[in-house]
Structure 1
Amino acid sequence: MHKQRVIELTLLLLAIAITSATAAIAALDDQSEIGWIALPYIAGLALLWFASHLALRRRMPTANGLLLPVAALLQGLGFAFVLRIDSGATTKHLIWSIVATGAFLSVVIGVRSLKVVRRAGKLLGILGAIAVLLPPIFHTSSSYFIPSGFRIQSVYVDLQKIGIFCLIIFFADWLASYRLRNTAEHFGEVDRIEGDPSRFAPLIGGWLITSFLLIFNFDTGSAFIVCSVFLAMWWVAVGRAVDLLGYLIAVALSTLVAVTTVPEMHTRFQTWLNPGTNAEWGDSITRSSFALAGGGLTGTGPGGGSGNWVPDVVDNLIFVPLAEEL
């Protein structure tokens, strides 16, 4: 077995232990409703992780051994907190985990060569741009509701989120060429990239998508995700701090424009500064601030927080119990 797979298997076992320990510690709380029913769910997640590990061992034995354990740990911690705060959502969480793992296995087993993925990169970029850009362009409602998805029975499919996912894959494919070029630079096979203005094209693309989400879609969450993921990928691929600084300055200017010229963004910014002025969002922000302050620098520990005291904690404010307790 390749060394990367040994590392991956070891870290997956550690992720299972941390997930189980987090759920067990939370169950010790007097007000906790967590019981032995949590064990089948944790076992189900473990089976999904090991299925992914076996697929990687067979199809991609030299792949990085850190990525799957990191994803598993984040998924496990998220499950432990969902189990404590809203135990009724655990089944839904496991179902979506099965769907996601099925998609992952389909790609790992079904894609015979990375060339297939690279050929699909441009198509995914176009589809992603259409899914992200069209809803704000065609929306005409005076209530600023943006029809960005559709519902299939109880499942809501958000096309813009799928579009963002496609754009991330497109940018990853785009930046992979710069990663390969950096390796060639290191061995002196090509000239350094500083003199090539094409290196700014991915930065400009990422900045435009982030700015569009802020100014025209008022979606700070999606804009933050795109910005963060793009920053991480750019740093891994290119690693030039000066370029990243320019990108961050451009995003900051776009944020300033959105806050000063877009009424919805201005309202949100003012609400963050003074929660008492907004009856709709102010209570959630105030309670979140108290919860985060109560956690201090070291956290209260799993089960010791007041996450269920914060409205909308299992959706937009899921970071509050994580930050408070961990």
Structure 2
Amino acid sequence: MRKPQQLRNRELVLLIFAMALTLGAFVLVQFGAIGELDTKVLGVVGIMCVLAFALHIVLRIRASQADPFLVPVALMLTGIGTAMIYRLDLAYVAHWNVGTSNAGEHQMLYAALSIALCIGLVWSLANYRVLFKYTYIFGFLGIILLALPFIPFLNGGGNAVVWISIFGFNFQPGEIAKICLAIFFAGYLVRTRESLTSTGKRVLGFTFPRAREFGPLLVIWLISMAIIVLQRDLGTGILIFGMFVAMLYVATGKTGWVLIGVFLAGAGAVAATFVMPYVHGRFEQWLHALDDDLYNASANASFQLVNGLFGMAHGGMFGTGLGQGRPDITPVAGSDYIIPSLGEELGLVGVFAILALYLIFASRGAHVGVAGQDDFGKLLSVGLSFTIALQVFIMVGGVTRVIPLTGLTTPFLAAGGSSLLANWLIVAILLRVSDAVRRQPRAVIG
């Protein structure tokens, strides 16, 4: 077992590198876009870095054996994404006759708030197993959060019923709901794993569960389909169902659950394509993106998708350089299409580096679960890590036309305070679980 001091020192070195990269990205954006430095903006970025350093100090005091890679990777992704959103603000002002655009400033403030909340959770959550006691409360809370946008005086508008508005601030409760549901799934599967792993029927070499154990999977599938139908939110429905199937497989080790999950997901997607016009439109954009009529259509056009692809193609291998491309040509370049924006200015090499950071984050989170002996911690960490990985796959696959695009945010990178807050809370939970795992005397730590 590595000494706590070595872990924190490694984290400090990586954190300094992440801070330097974040500040460097903002400097390059300003020189590339406007040819001068705005020290006020750099000051706000500095506050974000100071808070990240404060998180490091708190880890030394309260969770000295936590994983040393999670915070630097999360900060690096947050810094790169915030720099690109700020860069797009500069482009909108310069090229689109927009008086002011302050999405970048808002993202910086949300980043600072998110890191502060991460600090608070790490400090206060002395034992993550306390979450296990409230398994069903978290499940109920997750459902309530998903239902909040249906309350008329809270609904924040938009095509998808996923936003609430409180005192002028928009928030997406589904981002917090996924954490609550991950806690519920982990606790539920720990309690019912014996019945779920009972002998079933073998078909073509695979063991399929009995009908009475099939119920929980069917219920979660129905909830996911209800989200897709009622909220018009294909992404969240897929995310929640995928998270549950992954945790179910880890809990039982049965391949049959995965096969049934894939079949249900495919059947649901096909049914939604035929029944729901907006889902059908997403598939049309995916299959016929370069069709002239679809590109110029007034509704469900592929203009956005194609321009994102053109932007990445323009970036080539090494990109145009931060602040020197035109990612603002693609609509919503700072949220759904943040990856094409970064691909244009950082190139294929930069995108691969970003995907490598996600791979490190997800693998470290999964490693936390595998190394631990507590089933609840194992399922929770694997579930949260898989959620991040699946979200990245859905978004990167959508903007690169590997799969149909759905309405999710790219974790840590894309504009959106709700997503950023939720992702940094995930970081806090993973830090707490990893610290507890390393304190177990018989845990195998790689």
For Structure 1 versus Structure 2, the TM-score category normalised by the shorter chain is 0.7 to 0.9
Corresponding position of 1:48 = 51
- Normalization by structure 1: what TM-score? 0.77
Residue 15 of structure 2, aligned match among 12, 16, 20: 12
Superposed displacement of residue 47, structure 1: 1.0
Residue 116 of structure 2, aligned match among 102, 114, 118: 102
Q: How many angstroms apart in 1 are the aligned matches of 2:248 and 2:28?
A: 38
Mapped pair 1:320 → 2:340: yes
Q: How many angstroms apart in 1 are the aligned matches of 2:318 and 2:255?
A: 31
Corresponding position of 1:184 = none
Corresponding position of 1:278 = 297
Residue 309 of structure 2, aligned match among 289, 296, 305: 289
- Going from structure 1 to structure 2, the CA distance change for 1:212 and 1:154 (only over 3 Å counts) comes to same
CA contact (8 A) 2:25 2:83 kept: yes
* Bigger shift: residues 166-175 or 248-257: 166-175
Q: How many angstroms apart in 1 are the aligned matches of 2:168 and 2:149?
A: 22
Counterpart amino acid of 2:49? A
Residue 227 of structure 2, aligned match among 189, 197, 213: 213
Q: How many angstroms apart in 1 are the aligned matches of 2:250 and 2:25?
A: 31
CA contact (8 A) 1:33 1:84 kept: no
Q: How many angstroms apart in 2 are the aligned matches of 1:144 and 1:261?
A: 21
- Going from structure 1 to structure 2, the CA distance change for 1:149 and 1:310 (only over 3 Å counts) comes to closer
Superposed displacement of residue 77, structure 1: 0.9
Residue 77 of structure 2, aligned match among 41, 62, 74: 74
- Going from structure 1 to structure 2, the CA distance change for 1:89 and 1:146 (only over 3 Å counts) comes to closer
Q: Secondary structure at the match of 2:231?
A: coil
Unaligned runs of 5+ in 1: 182-189
Q: How many angstroms apart in 1 are the aligned matches of 2:214 and 2:321?
A: 44
Corresponding position of 1:64 = 67
Mapped pair 1:150 → 2:169: no
Corresponding position of 1:160 = 174
Corresponding position of 2:26 = 23
Superposed displacement of residue 323, structure 1: 3.1
Residue 311 of structure 1, aligned match among 318, 331, 338: 331
Superposed displacement of residue 246, structure 1: 4.6
The equivalences for 1:158-307 within 5 A come to 158-173=172-187, 177=190, 195=199, 207-226=221-240, 243-244=257-258, 246-272=260-286, 273-274=288-289, 275-276=294-295, 278-282=297-301, 283-296=303-316, 298-307=318-327
Corresponding position of 1:127 = 141
Q: Percent identity?
A: 27
Q: How many angstroms apart in 1 are the aligned matches of 2:79 and 2:73?
A: 10
CA contact (8 A) 2:86 2:105 kept: no
Counterpart amino acid of 1:289? L
CA contact (8 A) 2:161 2:233 kept: no
Q: Secondary structure at the match of 1:37?
A: helix
Superposed displacement of residue 297, structure 1: 5.0
> Number of residues paired by the alignment?
312
Q: How many angstroms apart in 2 are the aligned matches of 1:288 and 1:80?
A: 19
Superposed displacement of residue 99, structure 1: 2.4
Superposed displacement of residue 199, structure 1: 9.0
Counterpart amino acid of 1:64? D
- Going from structure 1 to structure 2, the CA distance change for 1:157 and 1:76 (only over 3 Å counts) comes to same
- Higher relative contact order (CA closer than 8 Å, sequence separation 6+): 2
- Going from structure 1 to structure 2, the CA distance change for 1:166 and 1:323 (only over 3 Å counts) comes to farther
Counterpart amino acid of 1:23? F
Counterpart amino acid of 2:82? F
Alpha-carbon RMSD across the aligned residues, in angstroms, is 3.8
Unaligned runs of 5+ in 2: 91-101, 201-208, 351-446
Q: How many angstroms apart in 2 are the aligned matches of 1:211 and 1:57?
A: 44
Corresponding position of 1:185 = none
Superposed displacement of residue 155, structure 1: 0.7
- Normalization by structure 2: what TM-score? 0.59
- Going from structure 1 to structure 2, the CA distance change for 1:109 and 1:237 (only over 3 Å counts) comes to farther
- Going from structure 1 to structure 2, the CA distance change for 1:36 and 1:144 (only over 3 Å counts) comes to closer
Q: How many angstroms apart in 1 are the aligned matches of 2:104 and 2:280?
A: 36
- Going from structure 1 to structure 2, the CA distance change for 1:251 and 1:173 (only over 3 Å counts) comes to same
- Going from structure 1 to structure 2, the CA distance change for 1:84 and 1:245 (only over 3 Å counts) comes to farther
CA contact (8 A) 2:32 2:323 kept: yes
For residues 151-186 of structure 1, give each alpha carbon's deviation from its aligned partner in whole angstroms, at most 9, with x where no partner exists.
Answer: 2333113333432342234335556x49xx9xxxxx
Superposed displacement of residue 49, structure 1: 0.9
